[in-house]
Amino acid sequence: MKVFSGLTLFAAVQGCSTTCGCPSGFSPKNGPEGTICYKRYITAKKYENAKAHCQKMDMYLPRINSDAELEFYTGVSSGSTWVQAEKRKGNPGTLLKWRDWKGNILRNQEWYNDPEEKDKDEPSKDDVWGYIKAGSVWGATQNATRAYVCELNIQDCIDDQLKNM
Ligand SMILES: *[C@@H]1O[C@H](CO)[C@@H](O)[C@H](O)[C@H]1NC(C)=O
């Protein structure tokens, strides 16, 4: 097994950018789940249209299920930004819950909560989509429009490159 100095490793990671890099127009950023490529779209769209746009590029909306992820994606975009959070059933027969795109139940979202003003607690009854704004998760109704971020995690690609050197 070959042993690399820190400097060689750095050069190799740079060199890997031709195969593991971000698509044109997308920026890399290191987050809780490794390196992502992301781009912010400021034209507000309905959740389903924003989702379809990301999916067409084999990308996804950010998935927030921890404080670390909320903080990271707030850093990516502090304004209103759709995230993977849909109030729906998973497979037929399962419960109506807040879920990510794979149908997994989101348990650790930090919803907006104002103990002084009950009507400002989120999500509220008719909310079906989630978005982040200013460090909290908020709920939105069916036809609401928001800006969004499409992203792709490239950490597996980077890891494979390092393994195969
Ligand atoms: C969303 O928009 C559709 C089509 O315009 C409309 O039929 C539906 O009632 C709207 N839903 C809500 C909850 O406003």
Q: Which atom of ligand 1 is nearest to the CA of 126?
A: 13
**Residue with the two structure tokens 């789940």:** 33
Where residue 9 falls among pLDDT bands split at 50, 70, 90?
very low
Q: Which pLDDT score is estimated for 165?
A: 79
Which residue ranges form the domains of the chain, and what is each CATH number? 25-154 (3.10.100.10)
- Which pTM does this prediction carry? 0.85
Distance CA 157, CA 149 (A): 21
Q: Whose CA is nearest to atom 13 of ligand 1?
A: 142
| Cα dihedral across residues 164, 17, 74, 58: positive or negative | negative
Q: What is the mean pLDDT of residues 126-139?
A: 95
Q: Which atom of ligand 1 is nearest to the CA of 142?
A: 13
Q: Which atom of ligand 1 is nearest to the CA of 141?
A: 13
Query: 138, 140, 132, 158: which is closest to 40 by C-alpha?
Result: 132
Q: Which pLDDT score is estimated for 34?
A: 96
Q: What is the mean pLDDT of residues 87-94?
A: 86
Q: Does any ligand 1 atom lie closer than 6 A to the CB of residue 113?
A: no
